[in-house]
Amino acid sequence: ARARLSEISELFEFVSGSVDEILETSPELFKVRESAGNIFNLSQTLLDEASHLATAFENLAGGRSVNTIGGYVLGLLALMSIILIGLVMVRETNRQLHETAQKNERNQNAIMRLLDEIEDLADGDLTVTASVTEDFTGTIADSINYSVDQLRDLVATINLTAGQVAAAVQETQATAMHLAQASEHQAQQISEASTSINEMAQSIDQVSANAAESSAVAERSVEIANKGNEVV
């Protein structure tokens, strides 16, 4: 009986070691590790109790030969109970391991699918839409979609503003060119007016000179006439 109990203890030690190896590759198996540890601790307790029970039966068998068979029967029943409990616990542990492995696989598939869907986002493609599923990546996908929508609105606003600024710049350039042309035309008119004024001034000077000369001639004529009258 003790040999069988030792084998069961070694079996649970192997299971515990295997669980530790799995835990090293997947941190999400923490609950499985805890369950396996509880199973191992319980198996150790059962092993100790069975050892005490077997010792008690051996002591009883040494004093009472009539109860030897009954003691072995009870010990065998206790051993079978321990084995049955151990098998149930091992099966439960395997079930939890299988469920956790399936969950990890689903999570990995969900992550890969999400990465594939948002791959073009890194290249600036804002038409990307991530699939919102019931997996744990669903919330992440929803947040990504919201962020992409906000980016699309921001880019649209920037493009609209840039277009308005470009139109305003073109209008300002056209106005500046028109003002420049008007200024040039005004400068030309001012230059022409200045030339005309200069010509008029020259004409006035010429008229003034002619008038002065005419006045001098008239004065000489008057003097000549006066002298003629005196002679007569």
Domain boundary among 31, 50, 80: 80
- Give the pLDDT confidence of 167-220 residue by residue, as tens digits: 999 999 999 899 988 888 888 888 888 888 888 888 887 887 777 777 777 777
Domain boundary among 61, 80, 99: 80
Whether 126 maps to a domain, the answer reads no
Whether 31 maps to a domain, the answer reads yes
Structural domain span for residue 155: 147-231
Question: CA–CA distance from 201 to each of 210, 211, 213 (Å)?
Answer: 14, 15, 18
Query: What is the average pLDDT score of the chain?
Result: 72
Question: CA–CA distance from 191 to each of 12, 107, 185, 195, 196 (Å)?
Answer: 112, 86, 10, 6, 9
Domain boundary among 52, 80, 108: 80
Residue 6 confidence (pLDDT) above 60: no
Residue 50 confidence (pLDDT) above 70: no
Question: CA–CA distance from 79 to each of 28, 61, 70, 91 (Å)?
Answer: 34, 18, 14, 18
Whether 135 maps to a domain, the answer reads no
Whether 38 maps to a domain, the answer reads yes
Whether 59 maps to a domain, the answer reads yes
pTM: 0.43
Whether 204 maps to a domain, the answer reads yes
Rounded Cα–Cα distance for residues 76 and 5 (Å): 11
- Give the pLDDT confidence of 77-113 residue by residue, as tens digits: 777 777 788 788 878 888 888 888 888 888 788 888 8
Whether 91 maps to a domain, the answer reads no
Residue 2 confidence (pLDDT) above 50: no
Whether 121 maps to a domain, the answer reads no
* Number of structural domains found in the chain: 2
Q: Which two tokens stand for residue 15?
A: 């299971």
Residue 75 confidence (pLDDT) above 70: no
